[in-house]
């Protein structure tokens, strides 16, 4: 029996199997099938040498891109435990701003486009994964082909509807299923290898090199399909914050990689024995009696595969919002022990609708395979570039090693990216269009937010001057019982709600608190990131709070944590008496003005995007019955 300590260490690994590796783990269903599919734009002709070359190329692609690039290297570049391309962007931006490095800021912009590519990929992955599994029904009963799309749509709707329960719960539910999945595909692979053991020669990289060198044109087009084997690599990195680097690494090296390698080798062996199985080498690898259970298991596994990118896109959207590239979205933290486990309702609904539309529009995994890969390879290439920049600047890795390693890995990535450009006219334009749209929204929001902040500062005016005027005002402003908390993002200006309250209501509470919340470029801030300062002459206290971008900004809880020393209200043993505190928020009404701050269509886009922002009172945990909004109109 496992000891309590061993069991505790095992749970994150099983959970990671249920969330992180579904995408990579189900790629064997369709990768080799797509390579040799005669209906694709550039199929690889069937031959013994091509089988060896393709299987070898797939294996060494897994080793180079997933094992070396992501698991061994990129996952070391975490931002206080959080992974994903947004974590890299945060580190690069922090370095660039601190030292005025324009290269860093340019790379950060490229990284935002990589994050947008990942969003595009997140809409294709569930569609192709679930479709490819349900299509196994056609292998059993061809007359069931008409039911493939409806069944797929139902499965996807159910999948997205359970996301609100959290990735931890989902992982515990799906993890054991994935253990069975990887065991079964590994065993099936061993069966294929046993029939034709000569396929083990493909483990030598010489076969991949001979395939590329011997017929570069065929091999080049094959790369566009081979990349399907690593489509979950970026999701693996993005989901690292959900379970931790160690759990992801152990699961990959201990089970996922061996199982996938055996499956690819087994499928290659079956092709050596019978070239006619190219239409479904994965399902035909199983014994005939086991094919129906395999279809059921594959369907469950591909549902789980979708979970990897769904959880990843939640992390990307959350980090992008906290760092100013998306509006503040409603985020539900689904785990008390793992702050990285979150659920974003708006993103969940948006991706769900997009996936259903893709399934209905394309109708088959073969058609969707044309659209798949472009976004993935783009994100992988950008991630590699950002990583080597971080390695040089953060870890001071020798320049010769950065150049040598970066050049080698980027060359591989760029080859895959170039090969996938051949699929643009066949559907790859779709995730690229989604990425471009996402990138436009993020950059427009970031630009518009800067413009609004500048305009808001002009309206609010200097905090020091306002407090000076307040202290010298005759007759003085009437003070009323209670505590008022005015939230602001900026410590140098007077909160708009405070200024308007004094100007129009002509009163100020006996205890007034200006609470400024600063979002740091780290996931979680320690309890020391809090300051209390009494502002002279006006009887106002300034409380400064620094939170990580994954921290929960619960304002009443923050005030309670101050204790009686801050004098922010009537106090009990738990801190401020909540019944005596009123909260004031500044509300802005945005209008597109005539000033040429940015293109008119971008102003309209910014204003439209602001409408999906999460309610500020709910975001900060404020009781609605004691929250007052005071605002002004700002033209951008």
Task: Look at residue 545 and tell me whether its pLDDT is greater than 90.
Answer: no
302 located within any domain: yes
Is 367 in the same domain as 460?
no
Q: Is residue 325 part of a domain?
A: yes
When divided into structural domains, the chain yields a total of 2
251 found inside a domain: yes
pLDDT tens by residue, 262-275? 999 999 999 998 88
- pLDDT at residue 175 in the model: 79
| Strand bridging mode 507-519 / 478-488 | parallel
Note whether 375 and 121 are within 8 A (CB). yes
Model pLDDT, residue 413: 94
Same domain, yes or no, for 313 and 364?
A: yes
Highest mean pLDDT (candidates 128-142, 213-227, 313-327): 213-227
* pLDDT reported for residue 571: 43
Per-residue pLDDT at 51 = 95
Straight-line distance from the first to the last Cα atom of the chain, in angstroms, rounded to the nearest whole number? 65
**Is the same domain home to 408 and 492?**
no
Domain boundary among 392, 427, 462: 427
- The verdict on 321 and 414 lying in the same domain is yes
- pLDDT given for residue 564 in this prediction: 55
What gap in Å lies between CA 570 and CA 579, rounded to an integer? 9
CB contact set of 348 (below 8 Å; sequence gap of 6+):
160, 163, 164, 310, 314
Helix (H, G, I), strand (E, B) or coil at 212: helix
Q: What is the mean pLDDT of residues 325-339?
A: 74
Which of 10-19, 149-158, 163-172, 318-327 shows the highest mean pLDDT?
149-158
How far apart are alpha carbons 16 and 194 in whole angstroms? 31
DSSP 3-state of 180: helix
Give the Cβ contact number of residue 367 at 10 Å.
17
Mean pLDDT of the chain: 84
Among residues 427, 442, 466, the one where a domain terminates is: 427
Q: Are residues 400 and 490 in the same domain?
A: no
Return the pLDDT at 563. Answer: 62
Give backbone dihedrals phi and psi of 612, rounded to 5 degrees, phi first: -95, 0
pLDDT of residue 546: 85
The enclosing domain of 398 has a CATH number of 1.20.1740.10
DSSP-assigned states of every residue in 415-427: HHHHHHGGGGGGT
State whether 374 and 463 are in the same domain. no
**Integer Rg of the chain from CA:** 28
Q: Which of 213, 22, 270 is nearest to 132 (CA)?
A: 22
Residue 177 has pLDDT above 60, yes or no: yes
Q: Which residue has the tokens 């293109």?
A: 599
Q: Does 172 share its domain with 320?
A: yes
pLDDT at 309 over 70: yes
Cβ-contact 574, 617 below 8 angstroms = no
Among 317-321, 330-334, 581-585, which stretch is predicted with the lowest mean pLDDT?
330-334
Phi, psi of 89 (to 5 degrees): -60, -40
Say whether both 75 and 117 belong to one domain.
yes
Residue with tokens 């299923």: 177
CA atoms of 389 and 99, how far apart (whole Å): 14
Tell me, yes or no, whether 404 lies in a domain.
yes
* Structural domain for 469, as ranges: 450-635
Q: Do residues 416 and 458 share a domain?
A: no
Asked whether the predicted pLDDT for residue 573 surpasses 50, the reply is no
CA 204 to chain centroid: 35
More confident of the two residues 241 and 577: 241
* Residue 434 resides in a domain: no
- Within a domain: 542: yes
Q: What percent of the chain has pLDDT over 70?
A: 91
pLDDT (average), residues 525-553: 75
Better-predicted residue by pLDDT, 131 or 240: 131
437 inside domain? no
CA quadruple 56, 59, 65, 67: dihedral positive or negative?
Answer: negative
- Tell me the C-alpha to C-alpha distance, in Å, between residue 295 and each of 128, 139, 183, 364: 15, 9, 15, 16
Q: Which residues are bridge partners to 584 per DSSP?
A: 486, 628
Q: Specify whether 481 is located in the same domain as 417.
A: no
Mapping DSSP to helix (H, G, I), strand (E, B) and coil, where does residue 130 land?
helix
Rounded Cα distance between 352 and 123, Å, is 8
Share of the chain above pLDDT 90, in %: 31
pLDDT above 80 for 111: yes
Arithmetic mean of pLDDT, 569-581? 51
Is the CB of residue 600 less than 8 Å from the CB of residue 592? yes
Please state, in angstroms and rounded to a whole number, the distance separating the CA atoms of residues 79 and 117: 21
Q: Which residue stretches of 202-290 are H helix?
A: 205-214, 216-226, 233-238, 240-243, 245-251, 257-273, 281-284
Within a domain: residue 23?
A: no
Q: Which residue has the higher pLDDT, 488 or 474?
A: 488
At 560-572, the pLDDT tens digits run 877 654 545 444 4
Cβ proximity of 332 and 169 under 8 Å:
no
Looking at per-residue confidence, does 25 or 242 come out higher? 25
Check whether residue 461 and residue 398 sit in a common domain.
Answer: no
409 and 545 both lie in a single domain: no
d(CA 311, CA 238): 8
- Mean pLDDT value across residues 28-34: 90
The predicted-structure confidence for 37-69, as pLDDT tens digits, reads as follows: 877 777 889 999 999 999 999 999 999 999 999
Is the predicted pLDDT of residue 505 greater than 80, yes or no? yes
């Amino acid at each position: 029996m496992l000891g309590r300590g061993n069991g505790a260490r095992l749970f994150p690994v099983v959970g990671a199997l249920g969330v992180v590796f579904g995408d990579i783990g189900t790629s064997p269903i369709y990768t080799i099938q797509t390579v040799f599919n005669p209906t694709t734009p550039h199929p690889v002709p069937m031959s013994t040498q091509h089988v060896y070359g393709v299987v070898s190329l797939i294996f060494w692609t897994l080793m180079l891109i997933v094992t070396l690039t992501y698991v061994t290297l990129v996952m070391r570049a975490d931002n206080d435990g959080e992974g994903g391309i947004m974590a890299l962007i945060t580190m690069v931006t922090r370095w660039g701003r601190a030292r005025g490095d324009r290269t860093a800021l340019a790379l950060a912009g490229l990284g935002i486009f990589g994050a947008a590519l990942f969003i595009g990929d997140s809409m294709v992955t569930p569609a192709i994964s679930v479709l490819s599994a349900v299509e196994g029904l056609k292998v059993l009963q061809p007359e069931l082909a008409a039911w493939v799309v409806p069944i797929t749509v139902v499965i996807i709707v159910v999948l997205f509807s359970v996301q609100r329960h959290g990735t931890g719960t989902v992982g515990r539910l799906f993890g054991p299923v994935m253990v069975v999945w990887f065991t079964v595909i590994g065993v099936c692979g061993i069966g294929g290898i046993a029939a034709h053991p000569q396929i083990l020669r493909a483990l030598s990289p010489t076969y991949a090199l001979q395939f590329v060198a011997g017929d570069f044109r065929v091999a080049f087009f094959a790369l566009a399909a081979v990349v399907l084997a690593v489509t979950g690599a970026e999701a693996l990195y993005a989901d690292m914050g959900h379970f931790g680097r160690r759990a992801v690494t152990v699961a990959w090296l201990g089970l996922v990689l061996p199982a996938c390698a055996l499956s690819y080798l087994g499928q290659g062996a079956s092709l050596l024995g019978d070239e006619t199985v190219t239409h479904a080498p994965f399902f035909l690898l199983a014994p005939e009696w086991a094919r129906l259970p395999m279809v059921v298991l594959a369907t469950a596994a591909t549902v789980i595969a979708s979970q990897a990118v769904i959880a990843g896109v939640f992390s990307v959207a959350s980090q992008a919002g906290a760092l100013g590239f998306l509006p503040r979205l409603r985020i539900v933290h689904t785990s008390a022990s793992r702050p990285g486990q979150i659920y974003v309702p708006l993103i969940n609904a948006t991706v769900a609708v997009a996936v259903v539309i893709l399934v209905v529009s394309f109708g088959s995994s073969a058609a969707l395979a044309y659209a798949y890969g472009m976004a993935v390879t783009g994100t992988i290439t950008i991630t590699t570039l950002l990583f080597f920049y971080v390695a040089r600047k953060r870890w001071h890795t020798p320049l010769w090693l950065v150049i040598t390693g970066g050049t080698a890995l980027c060359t591989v990535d760029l080859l895959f990216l170039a090969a996938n450009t051949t699929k643009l006219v066949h559907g790859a334009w779709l995730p690229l269009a989604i990425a471009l749209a996402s990138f436009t929204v993020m950059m427009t929001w970031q630009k518009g937010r800067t413009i609004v902040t500048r305009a808001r500062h002009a309206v609010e005016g200097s905090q020091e001057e306002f407090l000076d005027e307040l202290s010298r005002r005759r007759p003085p402003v009437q003070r009323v019982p209670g505590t008022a908390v005015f939230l602001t993002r900026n410590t140098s200006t007077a909160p708009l709600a405070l200024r308007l309250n004094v100007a129009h209501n002509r009163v100020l509470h006996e205890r007034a608190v200006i609470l400024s919340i600063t979002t740091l470029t780290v996931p979680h801030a320690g309890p020391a990131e809090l300051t209390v300062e009494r502002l002279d002459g006006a009887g106002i206290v300034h409380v400064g709070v620094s939170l990580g971008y994954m921290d929960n900004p619960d304002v009443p809880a923050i005030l309670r944590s101050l204790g009686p020393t801050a004098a922010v209200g009537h106090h009990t043993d738990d801190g401020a008496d909540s019944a005596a505190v009123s909260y004031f928020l500044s509300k802005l009404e945005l209008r597109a003005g005539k000033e040429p701050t940015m293109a008119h269509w971008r102003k309209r886009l910014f204003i439209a995007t602001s409408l999906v922002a999460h309610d500020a009172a709910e975001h900060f945990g404020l009781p609605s019955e004691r929250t007052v909004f005071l605002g002004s109109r700002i033209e951008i």
